[in-house]
Amino acid sequence: MRTSRGRNSFRARIRGTIEPVAGGSRAQGTMQLHEAVVLFMVVLFLIPMWLFVQMFINALRTQLWDVWMFAIPAVVLALMVLMRLAFAHDSRRALKELEALLNSDSFTTRS
């Protein structure tokens, strides 16, 4: 478990196993967000998208289009991209720390 200052629920959580193989050991694992954080993110993204769908349906019915309503999915998409980039950055850093801890240089990442 990595040490950190304060609480950061958005850090990559590493789970895995170390098993013996010919000539050494092999570490296998996954990196993911905590389930509570994933649930929070789903709610965070679904509420504005539900609002967008309601606005879109209303615009179809009334034929009164407000182009600013398309900012909602754009912001949601931008947030998703930013969070993915932040997760990838933290995952790379966690892998480097794990490599240093295990004196290894052969870790690969898989999303």
| DSSP per position, the chain | ----SS--TTSPEEEEEEEEETTEEEEEEEEE--HHHHHHHHHHHHHHHHHHHHHHHHHHHH----GGGGHHHHHHHHHHHHHHHHHHHHHHHHHHHHHHHHT--------
* pLDDT in the model for residue 88: 83
Structural domain boundaries enclosing 54: 13-102
Would you say residue 61 lies in a domain? yes
How many domains does the chain fold into? 1
pLDDT interval class at 8 (50, 70, 90): low
pTM (2 d.p.): 0.67
Q: What confidence tens digit (pLDDT) does each residue in 9-50 have? A: 677 777 878 888 887 777 777 888 888 888 988 999 999 999
Residue 39 belongs to some domain of the structure: yes
Residue 62 has pLDDT above 90, yes or no: yes
